[in-house]
A and B are shown apart, each in its own frame.
Chain A
Amino acid sequence: MIDVTAKYFAAFREQAGCGDEALATSAVTAAELFGEIAAKHGFLDSVARCKVAINDEIVPWDTRLDNGDVVLFFPPVAGG
């Protein structure tokens, strides 16, 4: 198990009811962690439409997590 901080934005923040939370997880990759929190909070958007950043760098979903990572979950973007 590793300890990470998950941060949520926009629709995800509202669905989770919080902007961030500390998690102890057995997830190995960012995608696996997304699977866990999506099930927990009822996120409906698929990984394909979302993005993830670790410690403020956008990374591929198969990136491995390290203890202490801050993992940012971005729902589908809609700037402009």
Chain B
Amino acid sequence: MLFRISSEPLETERLKAALRADRAGACICFEGWVRDHNEGEAVTALEYEAHEPVAVKEADKILAEARDRFGVLDIECVHRVGSLKIGDCAVWIGVSAEHRGAAFDACRFVIDSIKQRVPIWKKEHYRDGESGWVNCATGRPATER
């Protein structure tokens, strides 16, 4: 069980290998990728920022909750910070379990909870040169971008 923040590209195959266990009958991996659009805007790049001490604490709680609630064997999760380009992997989650149902459910719980609870922020850069923090109020209508 491990969550960490990384400023380097994620080596997903190596991350997955850490989940191997003879008891495991299922491994579910989720990759969140940088998409070239959001809410009608053409996105050219993203920047992620985290407050690492609190992010790690909160994410560790989420992983422990997921393990206890779904009875999975292991969960690993890494979230990128820094500048990312289209197609980059921003977050990776791997879950191993004896059976697939628990692994799917735990993986979904972890990504949904991270999006709601962990102090990580995303700034989008748009094709027109503007930029904006996702989910944050700016006082500027989206149509002005």
Chain A residues within 8 Å of B, Cβ to Cβ: 9-11, 14, 42, 44-45, 49, 51, 53, 56-58, 72, 74-80
* Whole-angstrom CA separation of A75 from B57 in the bound complex: 18
For A11, the chain B residues whose CB sits under 8 A away are: 121, 133, 136, 138
> Could you jot down 18 A-B contacts, CB within 8 Å?
A9-B51, A11-B136, A11-B138, A44-B137, A51-B119, A53-B119, A56-B57, A58-B54, A72-B51, A77-B121, A77-B135, A78-B122, A78-B133, A78-B136, A79-B118, A79-B121, A80-B111, A80-B120
Whether A74 lies near B57 (C-beta < 8 A) is no
B117 on interface, CB distance cutoff 8 Å: yes
Interface residues of B in 119-136 (CB under 8 A from A): 119-123, 133-136
Give the number of chain B interface residues (Cβ < 8 Å). Answer: 30
* Whole-angstrom CA separation of A42 from B137 in the bound complex: 11
B114 on interface, CB distance cutoff 8 Å: yes
For B14, the chain A residues whose CB sits under 8 A away are: none
B115 on interface, CB distance cutoff 8 Å: yes
* Whole-angstrom CA separation of A11 from B49 in the bound complex: 10
Q: Of the candidates A58, A76, A80, which one forms a contact with B58 in the assembled complex, judged by CB atoms under 8 Å apart?
A: A58
B116 on interface, CB distance cutoff 8 Å: yes
Residues 41-60 of B, flagged 1 when their CB comes within 8 A of A and 0 if not, give 00000001111011001100
Nearest chain A residue, comparing its CB with the CB of B135: A76
Q: Of the candidates A49, A56, A79, which one forms a contact with B120 in the assembled complex, judged by CB atoms under 8 Å apart?
A: A79
Whether B57 lies near A78 (C-beta < 8 A) is no
Whether A79 lies near B51 (C-beta < 8 A) is no
B90 on interface, CB distance cutoff 8 Å: yes
Nearest chain B residue, comparing its CB with the CB of A50: B136
